[in-house]
């Protein structure tokens, strides 16, 4: 196998949660370009249909499935449909996420539970549901989307629920990696810094000074700059790698 071939995933079935926009859409596109059949798992059916139409227009095989990642039963039903329609899942990218900017004393109980439910329980549901079949088959790669916020405290905005949830994702990644490595399943995570998406107010003056100004590269990332790292962790190129949290932050966390 040549070094470039090690990054290819032909014949693999890949699931990307929240894969119909932003980072998830970039991840789905990268996996499809590398040869995978892609299943987009998200709540917004219209957005998923648009993403699938764009992917299939390039000649790749892709399909959309609907589920809320916080609903384990819904994820399990979707997994059954994906396996029946596309085949056993080889790659899972747990990307769906939520964030609320609010000082700790102002965070409501509902907001706290919502962020933890999507960011942590959603990852757990995906890992447990899809991981069960991977373990049974003795192969598979899971890539969880954490954040540099799992190891630093962002500023100027306060986001305690998000930071806590991403730190938990990082440690869950390590825990599952240790348990499942002897069973043939690798579990890694990416930890992006600030990325330009519809959900990130990168250019608002109250944020740009810190978000961009404190980043050594003096800019935010584009989603397509994070996608190659996800492909790396999902592909044979990272075959001797599990339990890692790969930080991609333009140097933000070096300070």
Determine the pLDDT at residue 70: 98
* Per-residue model confidence as pLDDT tens digits over 110-142: 999 999 999 999 999 999 999 999 999 999 999
Q: How many angstroms separate the CA atoms of 5 and 241, rounded? A: 17
Does residue 161 surpass a pLDDT of 90?
yes
pTM of the model: 0.98
Dig out the tokens for 222 from the structure: 């584009």
Report CA Rg, the chain. Answer: 17
Indicate the length of the chain as a whole number: 255
Specify the pLDDT at position 103: 98
* Segment 164-194, tens digit of pLDDT: 999 999 999 999 999 999 999 999 999 999 9
Ranking 86-100, 156-170, 192-206 by mean pLDDT, the lowest is 192-206
In angstroms, the CA 50 to CA 48 distance is 5
Domains contained in the chain, CATH given = 5-244 (3.40.50.720)
Peptide bond into 68 cis (omega under 30): no
The tokens of 156 are what?
A: 């100027």
pLDDT at residue 248 greater than cutoff 90? yes
* Exposure string for 5-15, b = 16+ CB within 10 A, e = fewer: eebbbeebbbb
pLDDT exceeds 90 at position 198: no
In the prediction, which pLDDT does 1 show? 82
Q: What is the pLDDT of residue 199?
A: 82
Predicted pLDDT of residue 171:
98
Residue pLDDT, tens place only, 201-232: 998 999 999 999 999 999 999 999 999 999 99
Q: What is the model's pLDDT at position 126?
A: 98
Q: What is the pLDDT of residue 39?
A: 98
**Hey, which residues are catalytic here?**
162
Instruction: Examine the pLDDT at 99 and tell me if it is beyond 90.
Output: yes
Longest CA pairwise span in the chain (Å): 55
């Amino acid at each position: 196998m040549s070094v470039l071939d090690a990054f290819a995933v032909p014949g693999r079935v890949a699931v990307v949660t929240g894969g119909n926009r932003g980072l998830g859409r970039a991840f789905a596109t990268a996996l499809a370009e590398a040869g995978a059949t892609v299943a987009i798992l998200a709540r917004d059916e219209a957005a998923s249909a648009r993403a699938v139409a764009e992917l299939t227009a390039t000649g790749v095989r892709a399909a959309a499935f609907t589920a809320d990642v916080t609903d384990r039963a819904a994820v399990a039903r979707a997994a059954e449909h994906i396996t029946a329609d596309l085949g056993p899942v080889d790659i899972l990218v747990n990307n769906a996420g939520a964030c609320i900017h609010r000082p700790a004393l102002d965070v409501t109980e509902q907001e706290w539970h919502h962020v933890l439910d999507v960011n942590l329980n959603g990852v757990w549901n995906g890992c447990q549901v899809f991981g069960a079949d991977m373990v049974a088959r003795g192969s598979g790669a899971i890539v969880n989307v954490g954040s540099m916020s799992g190891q630093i405290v962002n500023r100027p905005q306060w986001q305690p629920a998000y930071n806590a949830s991403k730190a938990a994702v990082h440690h869950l990644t390590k825990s599952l990696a240790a348990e499942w490595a002897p069973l043939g399943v690798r579990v890694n995570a990416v930890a992006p810094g600030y990325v330009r998406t519809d959900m990130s107010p990168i250019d608002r003056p109250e944020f740009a000074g810190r978000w961009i100004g404190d980043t050594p590269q003096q800019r935010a990332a584009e989603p397509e700059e994070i996608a190659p790292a996800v492909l790396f962790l999902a592909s044979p190129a990272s075959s001797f790698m599990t339990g890692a949290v790969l930080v991609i932050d333009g140097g933000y966390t070096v300070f």
